[in-house]
Amino acid sequence: MTNALPDRWRAIGPYVAALLIFLTSRMVVYFAIQFATRFTPRNNVEAWDGGTYWYHHLLRWDASWYYSILLNGYHFSGDNLVQQPVIFFPLYPLIARFVSFVPGVDGYKALLIVANVAAVLAVLALFNLVRADRGDEVALTTVAFLSFFPTSFFLSTGYAESLTLLLMLCFFLLLRKEYYIAAATVAGLALAARATAILLLPVLLWEFWRRRGNHRNQIFLYALLSMLATSGLLVYMIFLWAAFGHPLAFATNRAAWMGGNTIGTGLLDAVMLKPIQLKFPWSLGPTLWDPWFFASFFLLSVVYWRRLSPSLALFGLGVVLLPYLMLSGGQGFVGMSRFLLLAFPVFIIAADLTKGRVWFGASLLGLSAAMLFAYTAMFSQSYWVG
């Protein structure tokens, strides 16, 4: 009995430490909102507002569309020059819809509850994933780099980032145990939250081939895993086809959100690296820092990929490149630093590189925390969409 408590604490203590790191970063978010509401006037560009409480400042931009879907469902007129909710995938507002049935929980609170519960679980899943291979120190540092990343406040907003991140991490945890059917199912759910989760499919097929390449009924199993891993997107496309006659409306309507450009517009320019303009960042403005974040994440993914398993390296590089090639090509970096939030393998690389270099790691975290404060303040007063 005397050793029961110390043994139990040794088991759960590191997870508590990971949560405390994340909660500390949420305090930065909270104080940034309080500071902004007192000293920064609201930008009137965006008319929608969730309410007057401090946490309503986490409901901006995309949150208004998710809230509309939660209340009224989807609509699509067929006009791809008009912004419409079909580009937002359904899993996040669907879960929030069920949460809103709880007495005293309205749609605004439901969006934030789902996002923040998913964020806490994602931090624990990330710690568990990294700890198994690299120990507590690197795992906790990885959590710190993610938690204090300048756009990590999106894990607490009315956006789908935290839910998507949680499902991606659960996918890799299941894949490690060779639970392929379960991993494929989780990948399908992730793809119902964000299109970025399509990158889980090649990872799944690679791992299955690498470990079970000579399995009989191989073609059938590949087909089954592929269908499960893409089921979220397939079901959404069937819904769009049945409801509006446009199964690809989620893709075609992006033209309205990209200044009339469709997916792939400017792809050649992106391949030739024309959108990258590494100007000296004289301020904390996101448009100045986004190219630097992209370049840093890309270089870390390419130069230090051997520090990761092949699957994590492939996935991390894919998350870095996909938004650049498909969404940002031809018109600069649209929300690049937000998309990079899902590239958690790069945070693992950064934590591994700073192991034993306390002052270097602390300096990076200090700069990142300052930028987290600034980015949160700008977002809360509608100066930046992310």
Task: Name 264's Cβ contacts closer than 8 Å, sequence gap at least 6.
Answer: 326, 329
First to last CA, the chain: 52
Task: Name 245's Cβ contacts closer than 8 Å, sequence gap at least 6.
Answer: none
Walking along the chain (386 residues) 10 residues at a time, the average pLDDT comes out as 62 90 97 91 68 81 92 91 93 96 92 97 97 92 97 95 97 95 96 95 91 70 92 96 93 78 59 61 73 90 92 94 69 75 96 91 94 93 80
CA distance 80 to 250: 10
Q: How many C-alpha atoms does 377 have within 13 Å on its Cβ side? A: 19
Residue 91: its pLDDT value, please? 97
Cβ proximity of 138 and 18 under 8 Å: no
Work out the number of other CB atoms within 10 angstroms of the CB of residue 217: 9
Joined together, the tokens standing for residue 339 give 């998309």
Residue 49: its pLDDT value, please? 66
Single-letter code of the amino acid located at 281: P
Residue 334: its pLDDT value, please? 64
Residue 146: its pLDDT value, please? 97
Residue 13: its pLDDT value, please? 84
Residue 329: its pLDDT value, please? 47
